[in-house]
Amino acid sequence: MDYRRLGKSGLRVSEFSFGSWVTFARQVDLRPAKELLTAAYDAGINFFDNAEGYEAGKSELVMGQAIQELGWSRDSYIVSSKVFWGGEKPTQRGLSAKHVTEACHAALKRLRVDHLDLYFCHRPDIDTPIEETVRAMHNLIVQGKVLYWGTSEWSGQQITEAHLVARRDGLTPPTMEQPQYNLFERDKVEHDYLPIYDTYGLGTTIWSPLASGLLTGKYNDGIPQDSRAALPGYEWLRDIIAGPKGRQRVEQVKALARIADGAGLPIHHLALLWCLANPRVSTVILGASRLEQLQDNLKALDHKAKLTPDVMAAIEDVVQNKPEAPQRF
């Protein structure tokens, strides 16, 4: 396992990290969670991602209990939470100072830690002034309850505004962003954030590197009953896969699989390594409901050399979605 700095911070995160979205407390209970966490930790993964919105906090309960029972030293791993979707009442949602603060306290209890290493704003909140959210995060950092804070699926403009507010008022700016990034979703990482990587030292902890499983090839012949897209509450994913865009992407997946086969890789390894090939990516978050699934994904790290310039060019010929570079006039 290699490690990369999280933006301009001194924190070093494993190139692959492990997240609990969809799996913990839904597909995975305590015992398999401990097996998955152990396999990840033993492989060198040091960042474990979570959120208050994952199974209404139950995902954090499972992860917190599992890590405590495994007895890991607190200085050997990084754990995160995210704030936005804490409940149905107005005070349980969004990025007000009240919810940001109380959601942090609740996550600390669920995860059984005395501080969060990373704390993300899970989405932008257009109904709360950014100044209020930045100050709430700063206060948590001053109190020692959070070490680094960041954003998820914010625009480059919103991240810039948060930095300008922090600079103006002497507050702590965001360190990282958690965007979706994969062969089909590239615009934020490769275009929108370009002006702010070097300006603010932005790190990225990217999610859905396999496009919710599409880039594994599992949906090439329809939707398997044991897949994520078959779960209640994931009708949106079924609609994407079954719709015109999904059908087009399935055909692209089949073409990408041929490229991967020629390079001596399974397609999901190709997709994971493609994400890692971007130096702006600090870590790629893996998800798994089965131990063998996680172990297989980790094996991708043994084959970085197979993503040659020719393979990368062949990938671009298939997806044809590379964002345009900024123009000089």
Question: Amino acid identity, residue 305?
Answer: A
Strand partners, 24: 28
Q: Which two tokens stand for residue 139?
A: 């206060």
Which helix (H) or strand (E) segment holds residue 312: the answer is helix 309-319
Tell me, yes or no, if 41 is annotated catalytic: no
- What single DSSP character describes residue 247? H
Burial class (CB in 10 A: 0-12, 13-18, 19+), 322: exposed
Closest CA to 205 of 234, 167, 236, 179: 179
Counting Cα atoms < 13 Å in the Cβ hemisphere of 310 gives 5
Q: Which two tokens stand for residue 36?
A: 């998955």
CA dist 120 and 203 (Å) reads: 12
Q: Please state the separation of Cα 139 from the chain's center in Å.
A: 25
Closest CA to 67 of 32, 112, 106, 24: 112
Catalytic residue from among 54, 181, 200, 219: 54
Closest CA to 294 of 79, 24, 11, 35: 35
Q: Rounding to the nearest 10 degrees, give the CA dihedral for residues 31, 36, 42, 45.
A: -140
CA dist 108 and 261 (Å) reads: 45
Strand partners, 224: none
Q: Are 216 and 268 in contact (CB under 8 A)?
A: yes
Residues belonging to the active site:
54
